[in-house]
Each structure stands twice: as C-alpha cells, then as structure tokens.
Chains A and B, each alone.
Chain A
C-alpha cells in the first residue's frame, strides 16, 4: 500500500495465527458481514477479506489460513509469506498484522508468532482462550508478554465481543508507527548464512520479479526445498543451486538447520514464558480429556462414530419432511396458478413443464441439504472432525492414504471440487493423485437429490428394529456404495501405478468447544445460497434446453392425427355432452350433478389425506350420500333424469379425451429430439432396467448430477396430459408406465439408478478441476471412463439381482 493511502486512514491488516485459536471468530467479530472470499491464483487455500471500521478509519482485514509455521513445502503454505509481503495480486501489502495467540497453548502459538515478528511489520497480539487457559491453571501476564514481544497485547473474547474495540484502537495507534524486527539468538554461522543467501537472492531479484526479504532468505535456508526454491532454481540455474547448498553447509555447521531454527525459537519462547506464564498444577482432568476418554475410546469411540453418522442420515429424513412438503405444495400451486393464467401452447409448456417443474424438482431438496450441513458445521465447530481423522487414520493408511487424505475425502461428501482442491495439503504427489482420483467417489450433495427422490418414491416408510427409519438406512447405504468402490480402487492405484512411501501425519486435537450459533448459521446460509443459486442459474438453463429438446419439433401431423381421433370419439356423443364446459357453466343440471360428484370426491380426498382407518367404509358411505343426492335431483323431472345420463356419458368422454391427450403428449415426446436420442441409447440401458426416458435423463445430466431430477420432472410433465394438475415428481414417477403398461419404476429400477449416480462421473466441473490440479487431461479422462464403466456394471448387477429377488 502506498503512503498516500496510509494518510487517508485506510489500512490493510493481515490476520495470522495457528488453526483452532478462535481466529475466525475474531475475524467475524471485527468485520461482521462485510466479507468476501479472496482467490489466490494457483493455490487452493482461500483467504477471507473483510472491512472493519474504527472511528473515521477503515481497515481491510485479510484473514489468512491458519498455520503452525511459515515453512513452505507446498504452494499453499507459501501464501501466508506472500501475503505478508504484498505479493498477491489484488491484495495490498499489509500495513500491519494481528497475531492471534491461544493462551492455553502459548508456547506453540508463539513459534509462528516469532516467525511473523521477524518480518518487522507493525503488529498487535490478540490473546484468545484466556478462560480456557485459566481453567487449566495457566495465568498469562499480559503486560509482561507485551514487554518481551515488544508489541501491544490485547486480551479478547470474540464470541462474547470483549476486547474487540480495544484491539481496534490499539491497532489504529500501532499502525502509525514503524514496526520493529524481532531479533532471535541464532548461531553466528546461521546468521551469516541468512545474510549471504539474502544477498544472493537480491542478485537474482530482477529475474525473480520481486525484491526478496530477509525473513524469506531465512525460510529458504532452513526449508531447503519447496516452491520458493523451485522458483530460484528456475531463474538461477545450476550455479545458484550449487552456491545454495554451499551456504547451507556452512550455516548448519554439521547440525540440522530445522533443529537450529526450532531450538532458537523455542529456547527464546521458554525464557519468555518463565516471566510471562504461571502454571499451577491442577488436579483432575480437563473437560476435553474426559470427553476424549469416551469419543476416542477403543470401543465407545468407534460406537459413537457409527451412531453419529447414522443419526445424521436418519435426521435428513425425519426432520426435513414437513418443509419439503411445503416447498412441494408451493411449486405445485405455482404451476397450477401460472398454468391457469396462460393460454395453452408452447409458451405455457415451457414455463410450467420446463421451468417450474425443473427448478422446483431440485429446490425441494434444500431442507435435506441444510440438515446435512447443519450436522457437519456443528461437528466441525465442536472439534469432532479432528477426532474422526484420528479414528480413521489407521484405516486410511491401510489403503495407502493418510489422515491428510481424510479431510479432503470428508469434504468430498459436500462437493468433490473443494475436496480435490484441498488435496494440495498432501505433500506426496502419488498420495495426492490417489486422493484426487478417489474424491469423486464420495457421495457429494448433488447426489442427495437423486437418492432422496428415489428413496422417497420406492422405499417404504417403515422402521427397522423399531426405531431406525428404513429410508434413512438405505440412504446411509448409498453413501457406503461410493466408499466401498473407492477402497479397491485405492489399493489398485497405490500398489500399482502410484506407489509411494508413507507421509507424515501430525494433527492437533484441539480442545472441544461449544459450537457457535453464528458460525453454524453462516455455514448454512452459504450452503443454501449456493444451492439456490445453482438451481436459479445453470439448472434453470439446462431445464429450458431439456424442455426445448423434448418439445420440438412438435409436428403438426401428430396433432392432426389426434385431433381426428378426438373428433371421431366426440361424434358418438350428443352435442350437449361434447360442448359441456364446467368452467363456464355452473348452473345447468349437468353442472349440478358435477357439483354433487365433486363434493363426493373432495370428501374422499380429505379422508385419504387424514389417513382414516376405515377408509373403505367411509368411501362407501360418501358414495351412498352422493347417489342419494343424485337420485333426489334426477327424480325432480324428466329433464333432470336425462341430465344424469348425460353426466355419466360426459365422464366417460372425459376419460377417453384424457387418454387421447396422454397418447398425444407421449407421441410428441417420443418424436422430439430428446426422444429420438433416448431411443438410440435405449438398448444400451435396457439391461439396467431403464427405458429410453431414464437413459435420456442420465445423458442430459452430464453437466451436473442433480440435473437428472430436473430433467425427469420436465420429461414426465411433458409426457403427460397438460390439463392435469401438477403432481409432485415423486408421485409422477410412481405412476409412470412402460410401453406395455407395467410400472416403469420399481424398487429395482430405483436402486439401479441410485447406484449408477453414486458411482458415475457426471460432473463437468469436477473433471475440469481434476485437469487443472493434475495439469493433464489424462486423469480426468481416466476418471470419467473408469467411473462410468464401474457405474454401468454396478448398476447392471444391482438391477438384475434386485429384479430376480422380485423387487
């Protein structure tokens, strides 16, 4: 940032600290809702950028990813250093830095703290978790800490909002003074090494495109390898590499450079702590110790893990039902209302069958996605996710992966894209490639709508063992399909083409924290937002295109044939029956009979809705009442008696008309572009239990899996009589018939579709990210072919077995 900016009281400040220190709560407390996500080119970690205000000044705060050290072995780990030096496009060089230190593990937190202070930027320390530290008998002398560090220290409690204003005003004062570079006691050889290397780097500076800072020279000296070394090697060539290793040799004087750095830092920190920290031995165990005694226990821990996972899947069903019915009803009513206002024709079909049916079919799954992410957000905030990694590492390492693969895999259950991007934390290339290849097997949230639709339609609502919902159980099983397919895949990859040695797995197990309502709500809000946005943009567009492909060419000759058939059917009825239009006529005798009949049907519908136990008796009762009313009316005059006959004829005619209209719609769909393509692939998907419509929907959903739900909505709405009231997609597919009149979807077909979608690679964005992360088309192509083949055969076996068992 230029000086001009500084005078106008606009500052940029970097926020740095270890993971699990309350850094993000502090960021939220400082910036509120004024934040956005910054993308750093070429790396997967993201930083949030927000604005905080203090009196008349404005602070731009860059929330850098939590890290234990500035040592950079991967491009991701270099982001922090680059950001501190203002080397990231689109973000200004920070005028200062807030260092977040966790009072309950101050020693380790200060390791990063000393590294940052060596940059010499104006700095303020935000001391968090003071209450946690006190509960463990640790007291931190804030004034002493400030003295030894040479920077102001402010005690804060972000969730409670304490200390935030003081932090802002301290920061405001500090930013107007130059910072001080922290000098640690390294050996002379080491310091000489840093200086020599720094000079050498400055010589390379022009070619590197930036002026290297001294702390960077220190990092390069100690780290030896990594992205910065690669850059230097690229511009400095062999000559640089040779000099570099000579300098390292001399600086180390026979010892390990990492050891020299660590001992200098922790040595100084230890001395400081004698003045700053007082620890009084506490009897008994901390809350976290007690909870961990259960949650990571050999038996109880595993049991809780399985139960928690089970609970999540069960709740997805039992909690979201009412809300889903509401959305379902809302879209049905919207379709009817809009349909009632528009004239019959292509435009109405586009709006009702294409847009409303397509988008509504996807949006209905919002409640379930929210329930899933509610649990994930709570578990993450609680600190359970690290325990899950602890429990699972052994299992993962057996398949050649490690605990670091577990986290990306876990996010794969949300979306494969962040999962693949998250694999950059895996240092070993082959482990990373394996994880990338496996991530799409984890059941992402886009598969959820597909599962939910078919489970709701074909798996009976019942309880197993008295309390487990069968539907939830099937959903749980669907998530295992992907995992079970991933395991042999991993073994084959790791034993074969991607062999590698085991990589380090060091993981902090943070103390448990009460989940913060705000943080959880924010995650939910973001998830809901992106889901709704997808439904409103790409899914909307695809729905329109699928509608067009399923509507056109809509040839006149088809209409002519069916118009002629209707005319010939109508010719057999008296004119009064043919011309009766209940929407315009509500007075005639015919209309009065219809009113009596409608009343009966409404009573029956109401009974069904209630789920009345004596449904049959009550229906018969209502029928009796209807017949009596009709007899009373028809007995009044001869004319009325004739009208009753006419009404009966009209009902038959309506059925015949409906049948013709259904066949007309069906033929239009079969003749459409979509229908023709569907018929072309029908033989290939027949063994899966699919007809041409499902095959077509599967192909149309190549861009994104959840599109299949929208596509089915559009296809089955197009293929039905347009005057019919819009049913929910769940009911529509239950009623769908094959050409021979048997139900199209059975439990076997439903399972076959679900298995296919659990394993297929129907996601263009995932394949694109795979291409970028592996820097080769080889991986996405291999992934697509492998997953599609696997999906096809797994689906084939599922259908044939389920069918043979009579499902």
Chain B
C-alpha cells in the first residue's frame, strides 16, 4: 500500500513540475517573462 502511495506521489510531483515548467515556457513565448528559460539566471 505504502509503495503505491509513494509512487503516486512521486509521479504527481513530477507531472506537476513538468506542467509548471511548460506553463513557464508558454509565458516566455507570450513575453510575460523576460527570461528565456535557459536556467542561467536561476529564475
């Protein structure tokens, strides 16, 4: 049981993070965010 809860949590976290990054990327595309997403600035 614990195993499946842990896996579900990890996958959800990964999906959430990837989704958040996708959203950030879209913001860059629209010009809301100055950073190009190259990670150099740590933003």
Contact = CB atoms under 8 A, between A and B. Distances in A.
Direct contact of A and B (CB under 8 A): yes
B14 A541 contact: yes
A346 B40 contact: no
B2 to A, nearest CB: 9
Interface in B1-24: 3-4, 6-7, 10-11, 13-15, 17-18, 21-22
B38 A418 contact: yes
Contacts of B43: 39
Contacts of B11: 544-545, 548
A92 B42 CA distance: 22
A369 B6 CA distance: 35
Interface of A is mostly: helix
A764 B38 contact: no
10 contacts: A36-B42, A39-B41, A39-B43, A415-B38, A418-B40, A537-B21, A538-B17, A764-B22, A764-B25, A768-B26
A347 interface: yes
Interface stretch (A144-152, A239-247, A526-534, A791-799): A526-534
Given A39-B35, A39-B43, A538-B18, A347 B29 contact: no
Contact of A41 (B3, B7, B25, B34): B34
A417 B37 contact: yes
Nearest to B25: A768
Given A39-B41, A415-B38, A768-B26, A347 B18 contact: no
Interface of A: 36-37, 39-43, 46, 345-347, 350, 415, 417-418, 420-421, 526, 530, 533-534, 537-538, 540-542, 544-545, 548, 703, 764-765, 767-769, 771-772, 775, 780
A769 B36 contact: yes
Given A418-B40, A542-B14, A771-B30, 19 more contacts: A46-B41, A345-B3, A347-B6, A418-B36, A420-B36, A421-B36, A540-B14, A541-B13, A541-B17, A544-B11, A545-B18, A548-B11, A703-B22, A764-B22, A764-B25, A768-B25, A768-B29, A775-B31, A780-B29
Contacts of B26: 768
Contacts of A537: 17, 21
Q: Which 10 A-B pairs have the closest CB atoms?
A: A544-B14, A768-B29, A771-B29, A417-B36, A541-B14, A765-B37, A417-B38, A39-B34, A541-B17, A530-B39
A190 to B, nearest CB: 37
Contacts of B3: 345-347
A420 B36 CA distance: 9
Report which residue of B15, B18, B25, B40 has the largest number of chain A beta carbons within 10 angstroms of its beta carbon. B40
A443 to B, nearest CB: 16
A37 B17 CA distance: 24
A280 B15 CA distance: 69
A533 B39 contact: yes
Interface of B is mostly: helix
A544 B10 contact: yes
A40 B42 CA distance: 15
Nearest to A549: B11
B17 to A, nearest CB: 4
A530 B42 CA distance: 8
A530 B34 contact: no
Contacts of A41: 34
A762 to B, nearest CB: 14
A768 B37 contact: yes
A42 B33 CA distance: 9
A42 B34 contact: yes
Contacts of A703: 18, 22
Contacts of A538: 17-18, 21
Report which residue of B3, B31, B34, B41 has the largest number of chain A beta carbons within 10 angstroms of its beta carbon. B34
Contacts of B36: 417-418, 420-421, 765, 768-769
A347 B34 contact: no
A614 to B, nearest CB: 50
A788 B34 CA distance: 27
A767 to B, nearest CB: 8
Contacts of B6: 347
A96 B3 CA distance: 61
B36 to A, nearest CB: 4
Nearest to A769: B36
A256 to B, nearest CB: 36
B24 to A, nearest CB: 9
